[in-house]
Chain A
């Protein structure tokens, strides 16, 4: 009886629901499955196989793709003999110099800075974990990564590109640039990365490392 009670009170046997605060008992999950709160059906956690190694590979791929996606122009516009092309950065800069500093900064952050930092931060946390090394500040870095997660808006930018192409298609000839292909690849990598990353495993490893 006493042993049972002790087992029940052990912290790691339970997980609290983030949305409704119900304590759910943890069962071991088979790989690549999801666990939902019994009361409000919120997603509690997913178990993903090889989360850390997969996420690491994807982060590196993302970082490599980041460079051409930003250096090469996304698309060019041709009208009446005149031609104008733009990179991801160009839009933000033009808004900034055009007097709308805040919008320019916001676009810069959500489409370039934050996605880049997310990849870098993830690399900083995952690579040492994979190698079994301990670096300074891994825990705060991962915390900041989690908070920034919602603010990287590459998919929204992608849809924006499509809408812009359609809107401009009438006026002029639109030509896709090299940057666009790199950008699409980067987007796919980001999406796969959010599917592959299992935050629970990362936190458990971080905890084990610091113990």
Chain B
């Protein structure tokens, strides 16, 4: 909820973005803050929490394994193409 899993996801998302050569600002937040973030292009989360991020501006990506850089990089690459 803003201090644990999201921070870990942010760390790995930043590594993935570096690999993709994409400049972006990544924030680790809890659900309420994410729902209020109208300027988010992409929202990364775990499968449990995907439903809570529906109906927002940004694209929601579900990451099943926080520590799988391959998964994060692949899904981000796909989302950024869209």
Partners in one complex: no
* B residues lining the A interface (CB < 8 Å): none
